Amino acid sequence: MHHPFTRIGLFIRKDDPILENAVVQVCQFLKTQSLSVVINEPLNFLPDLDVVSMSDFPQQCDLTIAIGGDGTLLSASRALAGSDLPLVGINVGRLGFLADVTLDNLENQLSRILAGEYREDIRFLMQASINQSDTPIGLAMNDVVIHAYQSLHMIEFETYIDGRFLNSQRADGILVATPTGSTAYAMSAGGPILDVDLDALVLASVCPHTLSNRPLVIAADSVIDITLSDNTETNCMATCDGRQGHIIQPGDTIRIQRAPNTVKLLHLEDHDHYSILRAKLEWGRKLTC
């Protein structure tokens, strides 16, 4: 028997052009279920909702519901990483890989999750640090990207995996993605789609100088060091999940590795990652003879 959820934390992004009616609809439904509800940002159209800082969610809530899209769910995931607080995504707008409860079917889908009819989906994150600092510059559930900053120059860098030299190359950038992130920027860079249950990372170069360059899939426990060549003549940046990045200088080394913390997503029991892939990528239907 699953522990019933009684205290719900709603997560929204302040900069999200979120739909008011989505939050109102979710709140009204949760009120009918006699659940206590808090939110991470004050809303002028719902002034009675208690506002609680995201860092207090693990103490004050049994379940977090992120309202928005996959980007909102990524933000919530990074904030909750390691807390063991389960997370559900409600999708406002386009179909999402992570946020799979829809507004159209909200009451039916959310009732099932609140009743304990869900599947747990544990995802891992990566962390990036500069020059072997003990303090990571950021967490990434999707990807860490190293790229030229404010210019279209190529960058030159060397890649090491577990201390062993892999290659030296010139490209517009390089990214390391989790299976979760393999369907995001990594896919645009020609990387493979990794099954979300794989314990693996993908390395892909962005617009590499040589055509012999290919994406590489490695074990998730690998430690990846990317050293910016002294010949790189442009400012570079390391960016985690597409957020504001950190400037890196020629000669700096970025270390990317699995973070110690995981995220617990809850999906409907009939959640099907492949059907979402088919829909998002417009893959063909079954052939009928």
The residues assigned a catalytic role are 70
Q: Which residues pair with 90 in a beta bridge?
A: 67, 101
Token pair listed for 229: 């060549």
Residues with Cβ within 8 Å of 107's Cβ and at least 6 positions away in sequence, in order, are 29
End-to-end CA gap in the chain: 45
Helix crossing, 106-114 with 20-32: angle to 10°? Answer: 50
Helix/strand/coil (H, E, C) string of the chain? CCCCCCEEEEECCCCCCCCHHHHHHHHHHHHHCCCEEEECCCCCCCCCCEECCHHHHHHHCCEEEEEECHHHHHHHHHHHCCCCCCEEEEECCCCCCCCCEECCCHHHHHHHHHCCCEEEEEEEEEEEEECCCCCCCEEECCEEEEEECCCCCCEEEEEEECCEEEEEEEEEEEEEECCHHHHCHHHHCCCCCCCCCCCEEEEEEEEECCCCCCCEEEECCCCEEEEECCCCCCCEEEEECCCCCEEECCCCEEEEEEEEEEEEEEEECCCCHHHHHHHHHCCCCCCCC
